[in-house]
């Protein structure tokens, strides 16, 4: 039987946050659109095996830890019986959240009149692919192609995934809490999950090649996390290299070059992610590459006319919200829309009216204990410069933080601004629940705010956001509560 043929205006490959958002926006703009879901499910890695399920497990772990504290001599006058956990039930609850969100994305795509094809695509040229589905092959030729294939975990050749060597995907679906967990990689994924399993009662060890955890963040931000790990009995092997795994033991070489065997029921490998470029015919499309990533310009256009790329495929930062924003931009360009000038555009020089992807900042969050937020320039970026102001305000001086036990872990908000005109250049924070401040930080930077703008906003009391206000006041030389 001949393959079915589709000829949409727009073909999107990948149903993650970049792809499905691009699809919805294309549909809203009246573009005939086909979205190919290659197997991760609607929402992609983030919704199915990444951002959302990991935060669900982290939340459950936090609740378990709270009850465990109440059972261990009590906390805040509250006592409780020693808790137990049935991880199968926890995972079922997590899976229920994922199913609900999957259904929501499906409904939104249907509302936008986007045709979803489930199957694996392989391109013969830049605009034509064949999708292998359960019901047979579908040939698709489109005027515009949006590549949104996402990323996948990096596998170490000496620690291949399988059995008790797992990626974050398998870690989020374990049927029981491992007694001994070794995490290879001290980045945000490994630490988020390692901390969660420690809260659930596992003995946890972390093996990291760098001299400290979270090496992409400055030491002041990571110190409170390191303090939590140490105080909760997590083994830290820094400057160490992992080796092979067998007979329930992971071989490592310590910082001093000494061999060591770490007992492990599970070895969680989280040494990074790489763009998904293999197996779908990228080599037949004629697009230029930038190292392992697809090269794009500020319109998310590749070197091939009317072929676009968004999300993790296009490079760092590999964050879901970056992909979503890129997907919207591409949809609007294809539809020929003009984007209204933002305030930051009016402050600076006027940009072209065609939409571009040119954010001032993309904030990043680590959902560790405590959480970390970074937006814009950090202290390492301005080291040695005498034309900037830096100021830090501790959560220990914020009433709301003390009232919710979030003031004694070394947390703070830091602002970095230009000395000449006080324009904000970067904002960082570490502390409990600071992920909820990330949008405020990004908004101020995107709007081109100066310290006086933040200082002039009446911040609600009592909230953690007051630390942003006070840090800005401190940078101006007149903090109130310190």
Domain with residue 464: its CATH number is 3.30.390.30
Domain annotation covers residue 10: yes
Rounded CA-CA distance 430/434 in Å is 7
Pair 283, 340 in one domain: yes
Residue 344: is its pLDDT beyond 60? Answer: no
Pair 332, 457 in one domain: no
- Cβ atoms of 88 and 175 closer than 8 Å: yes
Pair 203, 266 in one domain: yes
Rounded CA-CA distance 294/149 in Å is 11
- Cβ atoms of 254 and 235 closer than 8 Å: no
Q: Which of 271, 287, 311 is the last residue of a domain?
A: 271
- Cβ atoms of 129 and 283 closer than 8 Å: no
Query: Closest Cα partner for 190 from 246, 271, 109, 247?
Result: 271
Pair 140, 10 in one domain: yes
Pair 400, 264 in one domain: no
- How many distinct structural domains can be found in the chain? 3
User: Any catalytic annotation for residue 461?
Assistant: yes
Query: Mind listing the pLDDT tens digit for each residue in 381-418?
Result: 999 999 999 999 999 999 999 999 999 999 999 999 99
Q: What angle do CA 189, 390, 319 make, to 5 degrees?
A: 25
Pair 439, 326 in one domain: no
- Cβ atoms of 168 and 153 closer than 8 Å: yes
Can you give the pLDDT at residue 347? 46
**Rounded to 5 degrees, what are φ and ψ at 63?**
-65, -40
Query: Mind listing the pLDDT tens digit for each residue in 183-209?
Result: 999 999 999 999 999 999 999 999 999
Domain annotation covers residue 63: no
Query: Mind listing the pLDDT tens digit for each residue in 42-85?
Result: 999 999 999 999 999 999 999 999 999 999 988 899 999 999 99
Domain annotation covers residue 354: no
Can you give the pLDDT at residue 378? 98
For 317-355, give the DSSP string: S--HHHHHHHHHHHHHHHTTPPPPPPHHHHHSPPPPSS-
Residue 9: is its pLDDT beyond 50? Answer: yes
Domain annotation covers residue 182: yes
Domain annotation covers residue 312: yes
pTM: 0.95
Query: Mind listing the pLDDT tens digit for each residue in 162-185?
Result: 999 999 999 999 999 999 999 999
Q: Are strands 424-431 and 371-376 parallel, antiparallel or unpaired?
A: antiparallel
Domain annotation covers residue 222: yes
Rounded CA-CA distance 266/176 in Å is 11
Q: Give the residue numbers spanning the domain of 211.
A: 165-271
Pairs from 229-232 (Cβ < 8 Å, separation ≥ 24): 229/191, 229/195, 229/198, 232/198
Q: Which of 271, 289, 323 is the last residue of a domain?
A: 271
**Rounded to 5 degrees, what are φ and ψ at 118?**
-95, 120
pLDDT band at 2 (very low <50, low <70, confident <90, very high): low
Rounded CA-CA distance 40/20 in Å is 12
Q: Which of 347, 374, 391 is the last residue of a domain?
A: 347
Pair 235, 281 in one domain: no
Can you give the pLDDT at residue 429? 98
Residue 342: is its pLDDT beyond 90? Answer: no
Which residues on adjacent β-strands are paired with residue 415?
Answer: 391, 427
Pair 242, 324 in one domain: no
Question: For the chain, how far is it from start to end, CA to CA, in angstroms?
Answer: 76
Q: For helices 17-28 and 87-111, what crossing angle results, to 10°?
A: 30
Pair 263, 195 in one domain: yes
Domain annotation covers residue 132: yes
Domain with residue 244: its CATH number is 3.50.50.60
Torsion sign, CA atoms 78, 81, 86, 87: positive
Domain annotation covers residue 443: yes
Rounded CA-CA distance 426/439 in Å is 13
Can you give the pLDDT at residue 357? 96
Pair 143, 283 in one domain: yes
Burial-class residue 397 by CB neighbours within 10 Å (0-12, 13-18, 19+).
middle
Pair 9, 140 in one domain: yes
Can you give the pLDDT at residue 122? 97
Mean pLDDT within 420-440: 98
Pair 343, 376 in one domain: no
Which residues on adjacent β-strands are paired with residue 329?
Answer: none
Among the residue ranges 68-72, 281-285, 386-390, 421-425, the one predicted with the least confidence is 68-72
Active-site residue identified among 59, 232, 321, 461: 461
């Amino acid at each position: 039987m001949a393959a079915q043929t589709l000829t949409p205006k727009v073909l999107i490959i990948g149903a993650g946050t970049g792809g499905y958002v691009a699809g919805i926006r294309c549909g809203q703009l009246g573009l005939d659109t086909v979205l190919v879901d290659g197997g991760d499910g609607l929402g992609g890695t983030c919704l199915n095996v990444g951002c959302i399920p990991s935060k669900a497990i982290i939340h459950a772990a936090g609740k378990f830890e709270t009850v465990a504290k109440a059972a261990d001599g009590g906390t805040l006058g509250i006592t409780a019986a020693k808790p137990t956990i049935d991880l199968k039930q926890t995972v079922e609850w997590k899976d229920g959240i994922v199913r609900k969100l999957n259904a929501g994305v499906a409904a939104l795509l249907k509302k936008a009149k986007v045709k979803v094809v489930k199957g694996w695509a392989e391109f013969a040229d830049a605009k034509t692919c064949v999708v292998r589905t359960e019901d047979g092959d579908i040939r698709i030729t489109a005027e515009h192609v949006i590549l949104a294939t996402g990323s996948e975990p990096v596998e170490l050749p000496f620690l291949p995934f399988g059995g008790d060597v797992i990626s974050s995907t398998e870690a989020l679906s374990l049927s029981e809490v491992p007694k001994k967990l070794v995490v290879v990689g001290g980045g945000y994924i490994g630490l988020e999950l390692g901390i969660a399993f420690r809260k659930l009662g596992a003995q946890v060890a972390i093996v990291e090649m760098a001299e400290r955890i979270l090496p992409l963040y400055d030491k002041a931000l990571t110190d409170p996390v390191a303090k939590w790990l140490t105080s909760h009995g997590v083994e830290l092997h820094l400057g160490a290299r992992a080796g092979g795994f067998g007979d329930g033991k992971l071989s490592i070489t310590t910082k001093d070059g000494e061999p060591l065997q770490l007992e492990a029921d599970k070895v969680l490998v989280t040494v990074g992610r790489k763009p998904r470029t293999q197996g779908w015919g990228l080599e037949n499309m004629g697009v230029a590459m930038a190292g392992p990533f697809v090269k794009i310009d500020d319109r998310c256009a590749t070197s091939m006319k009317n072929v676009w790329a968004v999300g993790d495929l296009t490079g760092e930062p590999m964050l879901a919200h970056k992909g979503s924003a890129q997907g919207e931009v591409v949809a609007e360009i294809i539809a020929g829309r003009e984007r209204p000038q933002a305030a930051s555009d009016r402050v600076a020089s006027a940009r072209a009216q065609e939409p571009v992807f040119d954010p001032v900042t993309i904030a990043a969050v680590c959902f560790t204990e405590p959480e970390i937020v970074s937006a814009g320039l950090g202290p390492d970026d301005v080291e040695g410069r005498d034309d900037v102001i830096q100021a830090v305000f501790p959560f220990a001086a914020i009433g709301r933080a003390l009232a919710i036990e979030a003031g004694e872990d070394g947390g703070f908000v830091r602002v970095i601004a230009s000395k000449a005109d006080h324009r904000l250049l970067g904002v960082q924070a570490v502390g409990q629940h600071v992920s909820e401040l990330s949008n405020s930080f990004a908004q101020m930077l995107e709007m081109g705010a100066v310290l006086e703008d933040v200082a002039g906003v009446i911040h609600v009391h009592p909230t953690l956001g007051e630390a942003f206000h006070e840090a800005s006041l401190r940078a101006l030389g007149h903090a109130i509560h310190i």
